[in-house]
Amino acid sequence: MLFILGGTRSGKSKYAEKLAKSFNKEVVYIATFPAGDDPEMTERIKRHRRMRPKYWRTIELGNIDKIIGELKKIKNSVVVIECLTILVSNLLLELNKPKNAENIIINKMRELTSSMKDSDNVIILVSNEVGHGVVPGNELARSYRDILGKVNQLTAEGSDEFYVMFAGVPVEVKKLGKSGT
């Protein structure tokens, strides 16, 4: 499992796609943002679709349980999940602010991570770093930031390789087999 973390416009997607191509296997791209009524976001989705090679299979799923189910069907491929940021947001909004949202989301992410470890696929996960920004001005946004920060920690801990993107430059944080990891 490879994890790519970075800020907005840091080059996460481009680097994930470069890594995916390097394995010379079928690539399955799981997009976690479902197209909706937001014209600006719809344009972003279209732009991302145009950036990816046409021969990649794209699946648009914004639900962890559906992604876990899909991973069981995919064999010997590279799977790019773009991105955990939106996946956590989808789940938080779906839960509609229960008191134990954090526990539910962390447990769902543990399920997802476990299914990835059991897979024969190469998994590349992308997420936004949210810990370097300002403290959000409302409870839901603070909760989201805190939960995503914990999800990122969990993902980094469980990954075999971990990169942080800075202005389009990947910095290797963790790679199994190297000393110190």
Domain that holds residue 18: 2-165
Residues of the chain above pLDDT 70, percent: 96
38 domain residue, yes or no = yes
Q: What is the CATH number of the domain that holds 131?
A: 3.40.50.300
Residues 89-137: tens digit of each pLDDT: 989 988 887 788 999 999 999 999 998 888 899 999 999 999 888 888 8
| Annotated active-site residue in 14, 25, 48, 145 | 48
44 domain residue, yes or no = yes
Q: What is the bridge-based pairing of β-strands 78-82 and 27-31?
A: parallel
Residues 159-171: tens digit of each pLDDT: 999 999 999 999 9
Q: In terms of Cα–Cα distance, which of 61, 75, 10 is closest to 31?
A: 61
Quote the pLDDT of residue 180: 46
122 domain residue, yes or no = yes
Place of tokens 């430059």: 169
177 domain residue, yes or no = no
Which of 10-19, 70-79, 90-99, 110-119 is predicted with the least confidence, judged by mean pLDDT?
A: 90-99
Task: Judge residue 134's burial from the number of C-beta atoms within 10 Å of its C-beta, 0-12 exposed, 13-18 middle, 19 or more buried.
Answer: exposed
Q: Is 132 a catalytic residue?
A: no
Quote the pLDDT of residue 29: 93
Is pLDDT of 179 > 60?
no
Domain count, the chain: 1
Alpha-carbon gap, residue 118 to 39, rounded angstroms: 38
